[in-house]
Amino acid sequence: MKNILITGATSGIGKQIATVLSADNDLFLSGRRKLDKVNYYACDLVDMFEIETLYNKAIEYFNSDIDVLINCAGQYIYKPIEKMSFDEISYLLDVNFKSAYILSSLVIEGMKKNNWGRIINIGSISGVVGEANASLYSATKSAFNGFSKALALEVATNNITINTINPGWVETPLAQNALNQEERQEVIDITPQKRFVEPIEIANLCKYLISNSAKGITGQGINICAGLTCGC
């Protein structure tokens, strides 16, 4: 039984991760929606004070340190670089990367004290191969890969692992709303396995990465993209 904090847990990938991990662990969840649950806090990840409040509420709920942090919250903006406003730039940087960095900095002390911990960042293949008209989104997700490597080195002797999962196109409401039927077919056509990744695949990978069986996997960016990053 581990104490797990998951951001972005109310829909899509985060919701599936929470469902899978709830069977054997104690969870504290966060998202943008207002939910009346004792193990949940609706949090604006742009606000430093809100991030600290989320951390403190999780600690209060567990009455103990956080064993596992899963940074799943993220936003997507599809625009040419010259169309991005300063507010959109700040927003995407804050939500997609800065909040995860701050939460990691808050949980790491307890993990070091307990000589055990896991941090999983949910990135994107757009941070591995790039995506036209989503340069800032790609940059924020790419940041996770460098962050995971550097922090993994920093805590390697503390039995703490840091990894990033880079999903491709995932069968979520976000993808369904973002693509019309023609665009959806185009995604399938260019994907070697001719399918969307299912959220359960990412959730099961998270389950493995937090287990002791995966203690040797750290500082890695793991692509789960139905072959999309393999090339033509």
- Residues 58-90 have pLDDT tens digits of 999 999 999 999 999 999 998 999 999 999 999
Architecture of the domain whose range is 3-169+200-220: 3-Layer(aba) Sandwich (3.40)
Please, are residues 167 and 128 in contact by the beta-carbon 8 Å criterion?
no
Q: Residue 3 belongs to what H/E stretch?
A: strand 3-6
Question: Cα–Cα distance between 124 and 3 in angstroms, integer?
Answer: 25
Residues comprising the chain, all counted: 232
**Active-site positions?**
137
Q: What six digits make up the tokens of 202? A: 């990412």
Domain extents for the chain? 3-169+200-220
Q: 0.85 cut: is pTM over it?
A: yes
Question: Cα–Cα distance between 69 and 209 in angstroms, integer?
Answer: 12
Q: What percent of the chain clears pLDDT 90, i.e. is strictly above it?
A: 88
Q: Residue 71 belongs to what H/E stretch?
A: strand 68-71
Mean pLDDT for 39-44 is 96
Q: For the segment 84-143, what is each residue's pLDDT rounded down to a tens digit?
A: 999 999 999 999 999 999 999 999 999 999 999 999 999 999 999 988 999 999 999 999
pLDDT at 177: 74
Question: Cα–Cα distance between 75 and 134 in angstroms, integer?
Answer: 11
pLDDT at 230: 87
pLDDT at 41: 97
